Amino acid sequence: MKKKRWLFFGLFVSIMLLLSGCDSSSLIVLDPKGPQAKTQSSTIIFSILMMAFVLIVVYILYIIMLTKYRASKTSDDYIPPHIEGNKWLEFTWIAIPVIIVAILSVVTVKTTSAVESVPAGYENQKPLVIYAASSNWKWHFSYPEEGVETVNYVNIPTNRPIEFRLYSYGPITSFWVPQLGGQKYAMSDMVNTLHLLADTPGSFMGRNSNFSGKGYAQMEFEVQSMSAGDFSKWVDDVKKTAPKLTEDKFNALLKTSYVGRESFTSTHLGFNPPPEMDMSEGHHGSGSSDKDSGSDTMDHSDMSNMEDMGSMEHGN
């Protein structure tokens, strides 16, 4: 009996030491700052707890079997008695894994559906559309409605849904802001849509989470969440102080491997539009309709008109 207590105590200490190494403060994915990220964080924690429970039960049963049914000294001619199988035990150890997988499947499907759409409670609010394009090895963020563009940083208003439209000018990359939501691929021949929202002002790290070459480690960007008033002031400041983005300048940016943060008072969408599918059919690269994406379709002429309006405002 004393030996059993020591075995259980050793198992308990081992589990505590293992869990103590999981410092959630160092895992930014478990420090969500938006509803999408909170949904994913809750799903991750739920899955970890369920798997931990399964492991604990298995280890306890393992120790019990080792101690209770360990080999004993018997004569060489000993023949163990024949024992018929127990159908209820067999049913139990088949049903339990099926139930566990079913629960995890339902939770995963519900989570995926939630994070692929506009956050609950914000369905009637017009999203801020931002085109996020990757190139070796940097990120370009275009604001078609505001008529501004940034490189390697993106500012967003809090408590407003953000619709990132992702594509690439090079190899496949993956747009990821861990504290705001999951990752989604950016590809050269289509546009993928990612819905995010920040409900807390602050600075969040974003990066490319898909290996894409030697500059992969440098493909980081900052997401600055601010109030709606501060966001409007920032847009006005960019329009007053930043230069216009010309086609030559944009092509030079694409050819340059590493650049710092830059701001422009116009976007590249007019002269170098994203690889969207047939706009007349109401499709984006992600295959979702305008109704699903929660924003109005905007063709390339609309982008040019917006940039012209932005330039007129800047001139005034």
Kindly report which listed range (138-142, 189-193, 200-204, 296-300) carries the lowest average pLDDT score. Answer: 296-300
pLDDT of residue 157: 98
Question: What digits encode the pLDDT tens for the residues 100-115?
Answer: 999 999 999 999 999 9
pLDDT of residue 10: 62
Structure-derived torsion over alpha carbons of residues 58, 62, 63, 64, reported in degrees to the nearest 10? 100
Q: In whole angstroms, give the CA distance from residue 199 to residue 297.
A: 26
Question: What digits encode the pLDDT tens for the residues 216-253?
Answer: 888 999 999 999 999 999 999 999 999 999 999 999 99
Q: Is 254 left (phi over 0), alpha (psi -120 to 50) or beta?
A: alpha
Percent of residues, the chain, with pLDDT higher than 70: 79
State whether residue 114 is helix, strand or coil. Answer: helix
Question: What digits encode the pLDDT tens for the residues 52-88?
Answer: 999 999 999 999 988 887 777 777 787 878 877 788 8
Q: Is it the case that residue 22 has pLDDT exceeding 70?
A: no
Please state the separation of Cα 171 from the chain's center in Å.
19
pLDDT band at 315 (very low <50, low <70, confident <90, very high): very low
Handedness of CA 271, 277, 281, 286 (dihedral sign): negative
pLDDT of residue 150: 98
pLDDT band at 279 (very low <50, low <70, confident <90, very high): very low
Please state the separation of Cα 157 from the chain's center in Å.
19
Q: Is it the case that residue 314 has pLDDT exceeding 50?
A: no
Question: What digits encode the pLDDT tens for the residues 122-162?
Answer: 999 999 999 999 998 999 999 999 999 999 999 999 999 99
pLDDT of residue 145: 96
Mean of all residue pLDDT scores within the chain: 83
Q: What is the CA radius of gyration of the chain?
A: 27
Handedness of CA 149, 150, 155, 161 (dihedral sign): positive
User: Which tokens sit at 285?
Assistant: 């690269």
Question: What digits encode the pLDDT tens for the residues 267-276?
Answer: 999 999 999 7
Question: What digits encode the pLDDT tens for the residues 158-198?
Answer: 999 999 999 999 999 999 999 999 999 999 999 999 999 99
Number of helices (H) and strands (E) in the chain: give both, helices first.
Answer: 7, 11
User: Which tokens sit at 305?
Assistant: 């008109």
pLDDT of residue 277: 44
pLDDT of residue 135: 94
φ and ψ at 221, to 5 degrees? -145, 160
Q: In whole angstroms, give the CA distance from residue 38 to residue 120.
A: 12
pLDDT, greater one: 308 or 229: 229
Residues in Cβ contact with 40 at an 8 Å cutoff, skipping those fewer than 6 apart:
29, 32, 111, 115, 181, 182
pLDDT of residue 31: 92
Q: Which of 120, 115, 9 is nearest to 59 (CA)?
A: 9
